[in-house]
């Protein structure tokens, strides 16, 4: 299973390419009429007008499957919806279309980066995030693992390690929240969640806390792996220090 992403400007061109292909099958959609490419384009552009400043509003993902993976339309829809969920795109307009013009069965997903609520989906690291998500969905849906089959080698090279990038992003966010003055773990967790970062406290059977970890995009790191000062013990001391400063100022966040 190989996912390829492109971010573009024109819904019209993308929709025509996907919908007007011979034997194209519309499998699913949200907020988009699927009778023809003209109506679908009109619907995408209607939502797009909420953010005329966003030039590249078109998110186009194609997902290709191995020869031996014989999938029905319903299963392809489940995979596509799982992809949208994991990429935080489920609250956006989308159109899912199946093509039969290549050796590998594949689907196209056209997504409006402008959400129904007006929020704009980030396209940062979209290729890497898609590659990791496809790896996860291969396992979840029992599909052939592309790496083991040597499929799409040129595309697999896009699955570059992003571990150091995520670690750096998490470290930067923690540092910012501490500078903001967060003074307890609940506050820190709440603030980091706004940036897509989850906080997990490791507790022994005795109830004793012995560690903290941070997760983003399905990749988890121990606090000390982010930075030595973010081990549970040292991080707790920094939070306590902020709490003391709060008390000295006579107010609370």
Q: Exposure of 108 by Cβ count < 10 A (0-12 exposed, 13-18 middle, 19+ buried)?
A: buried
Asked if 253 and 181 touch (Cβ cutoff 8 Å), the reply is yes
**Range 27-40 burial, b when 16+ CB lie within 10 A, else e:** bbbbbbebeebeeb
Neighbouring residues of 196: CB distance < 8 A, sequence distance ≥ 6: 88, 216, 217
CATH class held by domain 2-156? alpha beta
Strand, helix or coil for residue 99: strand
Domain with CATH 3.30.930.30 in the chain: 2-156
- Could you read off the pLDDT tens digit of each residue along the chain, which spans 253 residues? 889 999 999 999 999 999 998 889 999 999 999 999 999 999 999 999 999 999 999 999 999 998 888 899 999 999 999 999 999 999 999 999 999 887 778 999 999 999 999 999 999 889 889 998 998 898 888 887 765 444 444 443 443 446 777 888 899 999 999 999 999 999 999 999 888 888 888 887 677 887 899 887 667 788 998 999 999 999 999 999 998 887 776 654 4
pTM of this structure: 0.61
């Amino acid at each position: 299973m190989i996912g390829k992403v492109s971010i573009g400007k024109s819904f019209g061109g993308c929709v025509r390419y996907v919908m007007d292909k011979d034997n194209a099958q519309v499998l699913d959609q949200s907020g988009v009429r699927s009778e023809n490419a003209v109506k679908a384009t009109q619907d995408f552009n209607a939502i797009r007008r909420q953010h005329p400043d966003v030039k590249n509003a078109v998110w186009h993902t194609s997902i290709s499957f191995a020869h031996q993976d014989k999938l029905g339309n319903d299963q392809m829809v489940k995979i596509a919806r799982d992809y949208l969920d994991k990429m935080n795109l489920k609250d956006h307009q989308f159109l899912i279309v199946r093509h039969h013009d290549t050796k590998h069965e594949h689907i196209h997903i056209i997504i409006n980066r402008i959400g129904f609520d007006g929020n704009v989906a980030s396209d940062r690291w979209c290729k890497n995030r898609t590659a990791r998500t496809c790896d996860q969905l291969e396992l979840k849906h029992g599909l052939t693992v592309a790496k083991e089959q040597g499929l799409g080698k040129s595309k697999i090279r896009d699955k570059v390690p992003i571990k150091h990038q995520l670690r750096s992003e998490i470290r930067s966010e923690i540092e910012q929240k501490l500078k903001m003055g967060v003074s307890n773990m609940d506050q820190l967790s709440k603030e980091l969640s706004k940036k897509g970062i989850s906080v997990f406290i490791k507790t022994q059977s005795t109830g004793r806390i012995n560690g903290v970890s941070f997760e983003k995009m399905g990749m988890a790191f121990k606090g000390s792996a982010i930075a030595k000062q973010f081990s549970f013990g040292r991080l707790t001391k920094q939070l306590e220090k902020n709490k003391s400063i709060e008390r000295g100022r006579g107010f609370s966040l």
